[in-house]
Amino acid sequence: MSQVQWLRSENFQRMLWPLMALVGILLFNFFFTPGFFHIEIKDGRFFGSLVDIANRAAPVMLLAIGMTLVFATGGVDLSVGAVMAISGAIAATVIRPDYVKGVLEYGEVQSLFLVLSIPLFFSLLAGLWNGLLVAVIGIQPIIATLILMVAGRGIAQLITQGQIVVFIHEPFQYIGSGFLFGLPFPIILVLLTFTVTYLLTRRTGLGLFIEAIGANSIASRFMGIRERMITLSVYIFSGFCAGLAGLIVCADIKAADANNAGLFLELDAIAAVIIGGTMWGGRFTVFGSIVGTLIIQSLTTTILTRGVAPEVTLVFKAFVIILVALIQSEKFRQLFSNRMAGEKVRTS
Amino acid sequence: MDQNNVLIDIKRVSKAFPGVLALDQVNLCLRGGEVHGLMGENGAGKSTLIKVLTGLYPRDTGEILFEGEPFSLSSPQEAADHGLSTLYQEINLIPALSVAENIYIGREPMRFGRIDWKQINGDASLAIRKLDLDIDVTQPVSSYSVAIQQLVAITRALEISAKVLILDEPTSSLDLAEVAQLFKVIRKLKEDGIGILFVTHFIDQVYEITDRITVLRNGAFIGEYETQKLPRIELIAHMLGKDPETFSLEQTAGKTQQEKTKTGQTLLDVKQLERKGSMMAFDLTINKGEVLGLAGLLGSGRTEIARLLFGIDRSHKGTILLDGEETVISSPRKAISHLFAFCPENRKEEGIIEDLTVRENIILALQARQGIFRPLSGRRQSEIADKYIELLDIKTPSDSQAVKNLSGGNQQKVIIARWLATEPRFLILDEPTRGIDVGAKAEIQKLILGLSEDGLAILFISSELEEVIACCDRIAVLRDRKILSELSGEAIEETNIMQVIASKDVNQ
């Protein structure tokens, strides 16, 4: 494919606008926020606003990766925030099993493997529940996952008995605040998840099947794609991503806060996926969702460093989401310029 | 019947949509106390006529008289005010509400500013009893059978207004007993002087219930006939646009003898396959290297057979022998694993995946069979796609063009290419040439013949008789969800097919 063709290709067109939005925000900071691009190396670790943005965005990026696939099948997973809370609550309880009974002693120090695998197992289970409701029973995704969105936080509260379970567990805390290769460990986790997801969807037939199911599930079934199986797996994967995000948050703050962990993050994830250019039911781009998350996070950081009251950031967020969504709409762009849309070949 | 009691008189009404003349100078005269059949194949203009009549579409030219007065509607609500009620194929009731609520929704009797439930339920049971029906009107509609729901919808229509009732394919989802129940009600309404316009595809039912028939074809008015004086063969000839004069009206029994086909072994042997409510028990053999056609009018069970053989619908009874071995085809996936392929009639909803590219659409079925973890490389994908783009002469600027940008004929070829890429043994083509232009049509027909010469077994479904005759080695003729007869060799002629469809004797 020649360079010109690539510039006109569908994939590039879809990524163009989110990338430009991100560049725009960064440029703004370049001019108006002193030291925004400054990166310091201390003890072989990178520090600076950019690293900070990526690190803070890590949990939502994980959610967005899972959400992207769910979105592509024509669904949505509202329960990811609640699954984060469950996952964190379980992890904390594994570390301090008797804390909720008022016992402050830790008892036996739990192995990192257990602290990680038990919450992730239940996250997978949560995803399986969503998947069964959507793919097998056939409930509307928005309603099916609403169940766990509401009930999940209750389950997390039950696990922690309504308390905030604080703990110390060095190996586990590394997940939230450790460094690897100079980068915060959450960023490494995101890179890993992203790479695995990319390989799994684009180096196998899976990505195409997901897009086919989302764009036309009947036709997909008629050509022998296991549409239920794949839809089910996608929700399970989304649950897994949410569980992982929950572990990061929990390990970072060294506590399980069933009330606030992951609160409203499902909305951020959905916004990131939409900003990133994934269609609801059809084409998806995991990379776009990562860019989308970065847009949201860098915007939040920018607003905060400008000294705007935190309560107002949501309004700015809403404004930017509307703007990016509008820019992505071909019809809207055509209102301004017909040339921007590129040539459209119609043989019909 | 009072000859002068004309309720609705449609005179030379025309209606054009961009690029299509949907109605061309159509007449229709509905009298009080008669059941009037409106017949025609797909695209004849039946639905358009009903929509113009009920005010959903404005008409371009012509006039409509209602009880002798010129009359023009701008919305379906006005139709109800004039005493015109329409029942569409899908029942427009609210499943979760009670029968009584459904009958009076929007017109609830009020008492002291609130709904008078006592009166609603009382009135509803009275109204229901008028149709000789005895059901609990406080139960939700969804708890009753489709036939009862149909009658509830009729009750509602009659309660709103009671002069003209338009029934658009009311029997398409009913079984025989339910149809009988509906017809009893229709006869009763007829005696009450209501004019009933009855749209259906079932020939037997038309002859059972209607007094007169108006036939449309391709938007044109063909004629109005007294049912008793119109032989079935002529009705079918009018619907299909053949000249009835050229048919001898002799019985065809002598001509429909079955010949053993010249070509090879049996691939599929279907025995007494049945699915209740969609297809009566049938036998069918499909040989290698042979094109078997299914001929019949719309709704005669052609697509139903295809769906049964491809595992989309499950059969209730009967067996399928594949290469002599009993095989259960429980899903499309199963069918594909036996190297079956199916191009569905509904190209847009069930065939192409609009947002994906031509290449992806072509390789998807093959990739699905290979499974997730044996992906076709980008190069292999392009090879396959380009091979079939060239072979089938698919007109597209490149294989990375989104399929939605291609014309109908080329989209159809993409679907055929998709299945050829899987190298099938048995190809089911349901209306592969519908809605595509003449040139592409001829190409696809030629392709079908070529494929069968290569040893592929093909089941070919089309509502165009010429096409079936031109392509098929054998033809199974269907009517009203039954296979009536099988024609082969010399016996494959338009006349024969039409006479079989028209024959009264259903027992074979």
CATH number of the domain where residue B494 is located: 3.40.50.300
Contact between B353 and A212 using a beta-carbon 8 Å cutoff: yes
Q: Quick one: pLDDT band at residue A336, thresholds 50, 70, 90?
A: low
Contact between A219 and B352 using a beta-carbon 8 Å cutoff: yes
Smallest Cα distance from A223 to chain B, Å: 5
Can you tell me the distance from the alpha carbon of B233 to that of B502, in angstroms, rounded to the nearest whole number? 5
A chain contacts of residue B360, beta-carbon cutoff 8 Å: 208, 211-212
Identify the pLDDT of residue B246.
54
Choose the closest CB to A219 out of B351, B369, B370. B351
Q: How many CB pairs under 8 A join A and B?
A: 95
What confidence tens digit (pLDDT) does each residue in A165-182 have? 888 888 888 988 888 888
B168 vs B246, higher pLDDT: B168
Contact between B368 and A209 using a beta-carbon 8 Å cutoff: yes
In the predicted structure, residue B508 carries a pLDDT above the cut 60: no
Contact between A223 and B365 using a beta-carbon 8 Å cutoff: yes
B chain contacts of residue A219, beta-carbon cutoff 8 Å: 344, 349-353
In this structure, the answer to whether residues B285 and B168 fall within a common structural domain is no
In this structure, the answer to whether residues B370 and B436 fall within a common structural domain is no
Identify the pLDDT of residue A343.
45
B342 close contact with A: CB closer than 8 A: yes
In the predicted structure, residue B257 carries a pLDDT above the cut 60: no
Q: Please, what is the average pLDDT of chain B?
A: 81
Q: Quick one: pLDDT band at residue A190, thresholds 50, 70, 90?
A: very high
The answer to whether residues B376 and B363 touch, using CB atoms and an 8 Å cutoff, is yes
**Final residue before a domain boundary, out of B395, B422, B449:** B422
Can you tell me the distance from the alpha carbon of A186 to that of A194, in angstroms, rounded to the nearest whole number? 12
Can you tell me the distance from the alpha carbon of B458 to that of B31, in angstroms, rounded to the nearest whole number? 47
What confidence tens digit (pLDDT) does each residue in A9-50 have? 666 777 787 888 888 888 888 888 777 788 888 887 888 888
In this structure, the answer to whether residues B111 and B73 fall within a common structural domain is no
Torsion of CA B97, B101, B103, B109, to 10 degrees: -160
Smallest Cα distance from A281 to chain B, Å: 10
In the predicted structure, residue B216 carries a pLDDT above the cut 70: yes
Domain-embedded: residue B121:
yes
Identify the pLDDT of residue B244.
60
Smallest Cα distance from B469 to chain A, Å: 28
Smallest Cα distance from B430 to chain A, Å: 13
Can you tell me the distance from the alpha carbon of B416 to that of B441, in angstroms, rounded to the nearest whole number? 13
Q: What is the CA radius of gyration of chain A?
A: 21
Identify the pLDDT of residue B396.
82
Quick one: average pLDDT of A211-226?
90
Contact between A225 and B364 using a beta-carbon 8 Å cutoff: yes
Torsion of CA B350, B354, B357, B362, to 10 degrees: 10
A chain contacts of residue B376, beta-carbon cutoff 8 Å: 205
- The boundaries of the domain holding residue B14 are 7-83+163-230
B396 close contact with A: CB closer than 8 A: yes
Contact between A225 and B373 using a beta-carbon 8 Å cutoff: no
Residue A276 bridge partners (DSSP)? none
Q: Quick one: pLDDT band at residue B251, thresholds 50, 70, 90?
A: very low
Quick one: average pLDDT of B377-403?
86
Identify the pLDDT of residue B438.
65
In this structure, the answer to whether residues B433 and B492 fall within a common structural domain is yes
Q: Which of A288, A286, A275 is nearest to A238 (CA)?
A: A286
In this structure, the answer to whether residues B290 and B416 fall within a common structural domain is no
Quick one: average pLDDT of A100-107?
72
Q: Is B187 helix (H, G, I), strand (E, B) or coil?
A: helix
In degrees rounded to 5, what are phi and psi of residue B296? 160, 170
Identify the pLDDT of residue B261.
44
In this structure, the answer to whether residues B179 and B56 fall within a common structural domain is yes
N- to C-terminal Cα distance for chain B? 37
Least confident of A121-135, B319-333, B478-492, B493-507: B493-507
Contact between A215 and B418 using a beta-carbon 8 Å cutoff: no
Sign of CA dihedral A232, A233, A238, A242: positive
Contact between B353 and A215 using a beta-carbon 8 Å cutoff: yes
In the predicted structure, residue A287 carries a pLDDT above the cut 50: yes
N- to C-terminal Cα distance for chain A? 25
Q: What angle do CA B414, B417, B419 make, to 5 degrees?
A: 120
Which secondary structure element, helix H or strand E, spans residue B8, and what is its range? strand B6-17
Sign of CA dihedral B313, B314, B319, B322: positive
The letter for the amino acid at B92 is: N
Contact between A347 and B396 using a beta-carbon 8 Å cutoff: yes
Contact between A223 and B360 using a beta-carbon 8 Å cutoff: no
Domain-embedded: residue B2:
no
Pairing of strands B195-199, B35-39: parallel
Task: Give the whole-number percent of chain A exceeding pLDDT 90.
Answer: 39
Identify the pLDDT of residue B377.
86
The answer to whether residues A186 and A206 touch, using CB atoms and an 8 Å cutoff, is no
Domain-embedded: residue B220:
yes
Least confident of A324-333, B101-110, B117-126, B348-357: A324-333
Which two three-digit tokens encode residue A119?
């919450």
Q: Quick one: pLDDT band at residue B245, thresholds 50, 70, 90?
A: low
B chain contacts of residue A211, beta-carbon cutoff 8 Å: 353, 355-356, 360
Contact between A346 and B405 using a beta-carbon 8 Å cutoff: yes
Pairing of strands B291-295, B317-322: unpaired
In the predicted structure, residue B18 carries a pLDDT above the cut 90: no
Choose the closest CB to A206 out of B353, B370, B372. B372
Contact between B374 and A205 using a beta-carbon 8 Å cutoff: yes
Identify the pLDDT of residue A342.
45
Q: Which of A149, A188, A171 is nearest to A254 (CA)?
A: A171
A-interface mutation test, from B340, B355, B394, most A Cβ less than 10 A away: B355
Can you tell me the distance from the alpha carbon of B172 to that of B278, in angstroms, rounded to the nearest whole number? 9
Can you tell me the distance from the alpha carbon of B382 to that of B359, in angstroms, rounded to the nearest whole number? 7
Q: For residue B335, is it left (φ>0), alpha (ψ between -120 and 50) or beta?
A: alpha
Which two three-digit tokens encode residue A252?
């970072």
Q: What is the CA radius of gyration of chain B?
A: 25
Most confident of B330-334, B478-482, B484-488: B330-334
Identify the pLDDT of residue B42.
66
In this structure, the answer to whether residues B19 and B153 fall within a common structural domain is no
Question: Which residues of chain A have a Cβ shorter than 8 Å from any chain B Cβ?
Answer: 9-10, 203-206, 208-209, 211-212, 215-216, 218-226, 279, 282-283, 344-348
**Final residue before a domain boundary, out of B378, B396, B422:** B422
Identify the pLDDT of residue B234.
83
Contact between B332 and A223 using a beta-carbon 8 Å cutoff: yes
The letter for the amino acid at B402 is: A
Quick one: average pLDDT of A322-327?
78
Task: Give the whole-number percent of chain B exceeding pLDDT 70.
Answer: 90
B chain contacts of residue A282, beta-carbon cutoff 8 Å: 355-356
Residue A256 bridge partners (DSSP)? A165
B-interface mutation test, from A1, A71, A223, most B Cβ less than 10 A away: A223
B chain contacts of residue A206, beta-carbon cutoff 8 Å: 372
Q: What angle do CA A259, A262, A263 make, to 5 degrees?
A: 60
Q: Quick one: pLDDT band at residue B260, thresholds 50, 70, 90?
A: very low
Smallest Cα distance from A272 to chain B, Å: 22
B chain contacts of residue A224, beta-carbon cutoff 8 Å: 332-333, 336-337, 365, 368-369
Structural domains of chain A, ranges and CATH numbers in brackets: 53-299 (1.10.3470)
What confidence tens digit (pLDDT) does each residue in A104-161 have? 777 677 788 888 999 999 999 999 999 999 999 989 999 999 999 999 999 999 998 8
B407 close contact with A: CB closer than 8 A: yes
In this structure, the answer to whether residues B434 and B316 fall within a common structural domain is yes
Identify the pLDDT of residue B6.
84
The answer to whether residues A201 and A210 touch, using CB atoms and an 8 Å cutoff, is yes
Smallest Cα distance from A119 to chain B, Å: 28
- The neighbour count for residue B82, using CB atoms within 10 Å, is 18
Quick one: average pLDDT of B302-322?
88
Can you tell me the distance from the alpha carbon of A39 to that of B199, in angstroms, rounded to the nearest whole number? 76
Contact between A204 and B350 using a beta-carbon 8 Å cutoff: no
Contact between A348 and B405 using a beta-carbon 8 Å cutoff: yes
Can you tell me the distance from the alpha carbon of B147 to that of B125, in angstroms, rounded to the nearest whole number? 17
In this structure, the answer to whether residues B449 and B502 fall within a common structural domain is yes
The answer to whether residues B103 and B156 touch, using CB atoms and an 8 Å cutoff, is yes
B49 vs B108, higher pLDDT: B49
B350 vs A243, higher pLDDT: A243
Tokens 């159809």 sit on residue? B412
The answer to whether residues B241 and B469 touch, using CB atoms and an 8 Å cutoff, is no
B chain contacts of residue A226, beta-carbon cutoff 8 Å: 333
Domain-embedded: residue B465:
yes
Domain-embedded: residue B238:
no
Domain-embedded: residue B240:
no
Choose the closest CB to B373 out of A204, A211, A283. A204
Contact between B371 and A279 using a beta-carbon 8 Å cutoff: no
In this structure, the answer to whether residues B418 and B428 fall within a common structural domain is no
Contact between A206 and B374 using a beta-carbon 8 Å cutoff: no
B chain contacts of residue A347, beta-carbon cutoff 8 Å: 395-397, 405-407, 410
Q: Quick one: pLDDT band at residue B496, thresholds 50, 70, 90?
A: confident
**Final residue before a domain boundary, out of B160, B179, B210:** B160
Q: With both helix axes pointing from N to C terminus, report the angle between A170-177 and A227-253 in degrees, rounded to the nearest 10.
A: 110
Contact between B350 and A220 using a beta-carbon 8 Å cutoff: no
Can you tell me the distance from the alpha carbon of B50 to that of B164, in angstroms, rounded to the nearest whole number? 12
Tokens 């079956």 sit on residue? B340
Q: Quick one: pLDDT band at residue A61, thresholds 50, 70, 90?
A: very high
In this structure, the answer to whether residues B394 and B428 fall within a common structural domain is no
Contact between A205 and B349 using a beta-carbon 8 Å cutoff: no
A chain contacts of residue B405, beta-carbon cutoff 8 Å: 344-348
Identify the pLDDT of residue A151.
93
A chain contacts of residue B373, beta-carbon cutoff 8 Å: 204-205
Quick one: average pLDDT of B270-291?
86
In this structure, the answer to whether residues B101 and B154 fall within a common structural domain is yes
Smallest Cα distance from B346 to chain A, Å: 10
Identify the pLDDT of residue B255.
34
Domain count, chain B: 4
Domain-embedded: residue B314:
yes
- The neighbour count for residue A255, using CB atoms within 10 Å, is 17
Q: What angle do CA B34, B35, B36 make, to 5 degrees?
A: 110
Contact between A219 and B372 using a beta-carbon 8 Å cutoff: no
The answer to whether residues A323 and A275 touch, using CB atoms and an 8 Å cutoff, is no
Domain-embedded: residue B239:
no
In the predicted structure, residue A341 carries a pLDDT above the cut 60: no
Provide the 8-state DSSP code for B376: P
Q: Is A173 helix (H, G, I), strand (E, B) or coil?
A: helix
A64 vs B111, higher pLDDT: A64
In the predicted structure, residue B52 carries a pLDDT above the cut 90: no
